[in-house]
Each structure stands twice: as C-alpha cells, then as structure tokens.
Amino acid sequence: MVSRIASLSASDWVKWIYNDDGGANYQSIDGDNDGVFTQRNMLLVDLPHALSRSLGRQMSQMSTYDVEYLRIELVNFNDANDNESGLSVSGHVYHWTPSKHRIDAMKLARQLEKAAESAEFDSDSFILSSDRDYAGMRFNWDADGQVKYATAESFNQLVGSEWDLNELFQVYGYMKDDSTVYSNSLWDNRGGRANSFGFECSYTNYTSLSGSNIFDPKSLAFEFEKPISVLGGLLAVDFTHTSVGSSLNTVDDDYLVQITVGVRGWSDF
C-alpha cells in the first residue's frame, strides 16, 4: 500500500499534470460555479516511482502492475481560513491495460531508443555511458515533463522531446493497420483507447440548516476494490465535474487530493 497527497514536485509520485488554478494554489483544487470544469484538472499516479521509493529498488515501466485497491479523497488545504462549506468532485480514472499491440509498441520504442543510442556516448547511452544510470524506458502519460526521468527522444515525427504512452500507442496503431480499410470497423486505432471508470468524492466542513451554519465535518472518499491490470504503472485521475458554488462561501474552498493505492504484484516483459 502506498499513499500520498498530490503535489507539483518532480520528486513525488502523485503529481498534478494539469490544473486550472495557477499561482500558489496550483497544488489544490476548488469548485467551478456552474459545476463543470472548463479547463483540464488531472493528476498522474506513477506506481513504478512509488514502489521504487518504498522497496528501495528500481521498478520498471516495462511491466504490468496488478492494482487491487484505489482510494481518492479530499483533504483540507491550509492556504487561508477559507474552507467554509465543502466540495464534491467527480470524473474518470484512466489506465492502459496490457494488449499484444501495446506491449509490442513499448518494446519497439525500447528497440528504437537502443538503436538511436548505440552510436552515442552521453549520460543516457544504452551501451556506453558517461554517467552511471538505469537504461530502462520511462514514459510520460500524454506530454513532456510528467514523470521523473522520462526517456528523451529526438524523432522529428513525434511531438515533444520525451516518450509518452498516448502518442506511442496512436502512432503504432496507425502504423499497424488503418480502420478505413474495413467498411464496418468499430475500432479506429489498433492501439485502442485507455480504460476508464468513474469516481466521485467529497468533503464537508459546514452545512446550512434553517438559515444557520452547522459544523458538520464529513469526508466521503471514493474506494475502488476490484483488480485491474495497469500497463506501465500509470493512472491518470481526471476531474471533470464539481459541486456548484455555495452561499456559505465568501472565498472558494480549496482542497488537496490524497491518493492511496494497493498493488498486489507486477510482471515484467
């Protein structure tokens, strides 16, 4: 079991990769007046990073992690004396499940990187290196700078300068087959789409009854207790909806997000 509050630090394994607050509150989340976020709010859970810290060994993303428990909960944020009512948030948790095409895509990326680095001598060379480091591949979710020590890439055909799973599976899928070849295909890419399930959690400090404010602290966490296979060990928690503004609020309540994950085991490929 591993647990942590999401932050912005590159050393943390639960990290905000998109947050619409900006400024000092960038590590927290607050409600939207109409109940729908118009900008992205997403945090990334990096299980290989978490388990590497817990177990004292380098865990690989070229693996499938067996997750059997996930808990998402809000906790109060000590930025100002402003948490006057409460907040409910909901959205989806995304993860890639293992498939032959996806595993082949990750293996191909490793082969390409090894070939590209075979004639070089620098800090991340696969064969000769000027630095003592691990040669294992590290993938972002969908853009640069999302995981610690992401593997750099210098292919003009790819967006950005680091590998990410979303683009890899799209490019590989289009390379393998084109859905337009089939007049009745229900799929559009051999890489497929990330699996997802919905969630909702809330935290209440005060409620209103007959015109009076009542101190009624309550946390309703989301718990998922079904086994899932997580390819590469990345879980993306995407917040899309929220409770609307409250008449009790003079300033928007801000909350931190705490994640707890139970991992049963893993298998490398």
DSSP 28-61: SB---TTSEEEEEEEEEEEHHHHHHHHHTS---S
pLDDT at site 254: 87
SS3 state of residue 176: helix
Of residues 72 and 120, more confidence is placed in 72
- Using one digit for the tens of pLDDT, what is the confidence trace for 80-90? 666 778 899 99
CATH topology of domain 2-96+194-268: Jelly Rolls (2.60.120)
What share of the chain in percent tops pLDDT 90? 63
The average pLDDT across 228-257 equals 87
The average pLDDT across 143-172 equals 94
- The Cα–Cα gap between 103 and 97 comes to 10
Average pLDDT in the chain: 89
Cα distances (Å, whole numbers) of residue 213 to 24, 138, 244: 29, 50, 18
Torsion angles phi and psi, residue 131, rounded to 5: -145, 145
Res 11 pLDDT > 60: yes
> What are the sequence ranges of the domains in the chain?
2-96+194-268, 100-181
The average pLDDT across 87-101 equals 97
> Which residues sit opposite 235 in a β-bridge?
45, 95
Residue with tokens 């990187």: 113
Sign of CA dihedral 238, 26, 28, 252: negative
Structure tokens at 112: 């390409």
Residue with tokens 């680095």: 117
Of residues 132 and 81, more confidence is placed in 132
Strand duo 195-209 + 63-76: pairing: unpaired
